[in-house]
Amino acid sequence: MITDSKINKVQAKIKKAIAEIATAENVSITFGSISYNSAYYTTQMKVTTLEKSQKVTNVYEGVCKTLGFTQNIIGMSFTGTNGTYVITEIKTRNRKYPIIAESSNGKSYKFSVPSVKRSLGGDTQINRSANLDKLIK
């Protein structure tokens, strides 16, 4: 019989085994939502590369451009109503709130494209920040 405690035990064992794979393959592996009944449970697993190659950067840049940004915004930080947020992910299937940002306390929040653009200072400010970063390096 599947219960909360059984799921926690199984997930802990899976995470322990997957941690070795993640370090060996230079990826990040996280689990998503869980649904279960007394017979079985299902969960989502997301594997993200930790490599900083040009190809990976181009993918993120393309996703950001489809949302109306002029460059890759992942990793940028902005100040919101409850503190500072760092953009960690973009979910293109979520039309209303596609931008996921993590607050300083570690919680993730969803934001709309216009609110993030406003918080980052608009397209001209986003480009200016990126160009300054390139000049400093």
Based on the fold, state whether residues 37 and 82 are members of the same structural domain: no
Q: 77-104: per-residue pLDDT in tens?
A: 888 878 899 998 888 888 899 999 999 8
Based on the fold, state whether residues 62 and 19 are members of the same structural domain: no
Based on the fold, state whether residues 27 and 65 are members of the same structural domain: no
In angstroms, the Cα distances linking 61 to 57, 67, 71, 107, 118 are 6, 10, 6, 24, 19
Based on the fold, state whether residues 102 and 42 are members of the same structural domain: no
Q: How many domains does the chain have?
A: 2
Based on the fold, state whether residues 78 and 96 are members of the same structural domain: yes
Q: Residue 19 belongs to what domain range?
A: 4-49
Q: 9-46: per-residue pLDDT in tens?
A: 998 999 899 988 888 888 888 888 888 898 999 988 88
